[in-house]
Amino acid sequence: MSVLIYTDSADGTLTKNAFEAANYGALLAKKEGKTATAIVLGEASDIDKLGAYGITKVLHVNDAALNNFDPQRNAAIIAQAVTKENATTIIFPHDYSGKATAPMLAAKLDAGLVTGAVALPEGNTVRKTVFSGKAFADVEIKTAIKIISVLPNSVDKETGEGSVTVEKFACEIPATRLTVKEVKKASTELSLTEADIVVSAGRGLKGPENWGMIEELATELGAATACSRPVADIGWRPHHEHVGQTGIAIRPNLYIAVGISGAIQHLAGVNGSKTIVVINTDPEAPFFKAADYGIVGDAFEVVPKMIAAVKKLKG
C-alpha cells in the first residue's frame, strides 16, 4: 500500500508547493507504515530533490505534451498510478493544478476529498481552513480511498538525505480537449502564492505612481508584491495582485502591509501569514489588531527608511 503524491511542475522544475505536498505525503506514509511514491507529469529536471523530502519512488511520465496543463488528462493518468501502486491516499498541492485535478480524480474514483489541509490526518480526519482562513474544520473522509490537498506554507517540512528511484511510468495518455494558445507569464515576478515574503500596499499610497518604493522594498527583500482590493478595482495595480477574500489567499512567512486599513475581507486573504507587519498613518486602523509588528507613520517616510535598513542588513 502506498501514499501517492502528485508533484506538479512549471517551466521544467517542480514547484515549491509540490515539494511541500511531497513532504506531507512522506510524513503520512511514515506514520501509516506505507511507501511514499510521487508522480511527475511532464518535464522536470529536479526530480532527484524529492528524496530529501522523504520520497523513495517517483513515477515519471516524461512527455512534453503534459507540460500543458489539462486536469482531466492528469486525473486519468493519476488514476492509473493509483491502481498500479495500490494507493490508498492521494496527496495534491492546493494550488492552481491541485485545485483542478484533485476533484476530477475524486469523482473518477468516487473518493472523499479534503482540500486545503493544514495538518497530517488523525485517523480518517483532516484539519482544513474554512471561512477564508477565519476558522478550521476537522473533516472525516468516509471512503476507502482518501484524497487530500495541502495548503501551501502550512505544514512544517522535515528534510533529510534520502534518494529516489525514478521509474518511467508507461501509461495511457488520453487526448486533450484544451489547446494552449498563449502563455502570459511575468517571468521576473515571484509567484504570489509561493513567495516567502510579500510586500503589499493599498489606497494609503495615494496613486499608482508611488509604487516604485514598494517594488524596491520587495526587490531588496526578495519578495512578491500585492495590493488591496480597492487599488486593483481602480486600476492602480493588476487584478492578479489583489489579495483578500475575493482575490487570492496567501500564507507567506512575512506579510508587510503598507497603507492598508485591514478590512475583514482583506484580512481573510492574509491571516495565515506567519508574521504580519502593518504600516499605517491611522493608529485606529483595524489591521493593527491582526499585526505582530506595527509602525504608526507615513508610508512615504517609513518605506524609504525600511529600504535603507534592509540594504544595510544585507550589506
Residues 180-209 that bind another protein (CB under 8 A): 180-187, 189-191, 194, 197
Can residue 152 be called a binding residue for another protein (CB under 8 A)? no
Name residues contacting another protein, limited to 9-48 (CB under 8 A): 10-11, 15
d(CA 214, CA 212): 5
Closest distance to another protein from the beta carbon of 165 (Å):
27
Site string for another protein, 85-104 (x = CB under 8 A): ---------xxxx-xxxxxx
Can residue 168 be called a binding residue for another protein (CB under 8 A)? no
Amino acid symbol at 28: L
Closest distance to another protein from the beta carbon of 15 (Å):
6
User: Which position among 83, 161, 312, 315 is part of the footprint of another protein (CB under 8 A)?
Assistant: 312
Amino acid symbol at 71: P
Name residues contacting another protein, limited to 254-293 (CB under 8 A): 254, 264-265, 268, 271, 274-278, 288-293
Taking contact as CB under 8 A, which single stretch among the options 40-48, 158-166, 199-207, 242-250 is the one that binds another protein?
A: 242-250
The C-alpha cell of 306 is what? 525600511
Number of residues in the chain: 315
d(CA 247, CA 108): 30
User: Which position among 2, 23, 129, 153 is part of the footprint of another protein (CB under 8 A)?
Assistant: 129
User: Which position among 138, 158, 215, 282 is part of the footprint of another protein (CB under 8 A)?
Assistant: 138
Amino acid symbol at 75: A
Closest distance to another protein from the beta carbon of 1 (Å):
20
Q: Coil, helix or strand for 220?
A: helix
Name residues contacting another protein, limited to 101-120 (CB under 8 A): 101-108, 110-116
Q: Coil, helix or strand for 97?
A: helix
Q: Which residues contact 263 (CB under 8 A, 6 or more apart)?
A: 228, 244, 286
Closest distance to another protein from the beta carbon of 226 (Å):
13
DSSP calls for 118-130 = -S--BTTEEEEEE
Q: Which residues contact 90 (CB under 8 A, 6 or more apart)?
A: 3, 4, 5, 6, 78, 82, 102, 105, 111, 145, 146, 147, 148
Q: Please identify, using beta-carbon distances, which residue of 37 and 245 lies nearer to another protein.
A: 245
User: Which position among 31, 134, 168, 206 is part of the footprint of another protein (CB under 8 A)?
Assistant: 134
Q: Which residues contact 46 (CB under 8 A, 6 or more apart)?
A: 13, 14
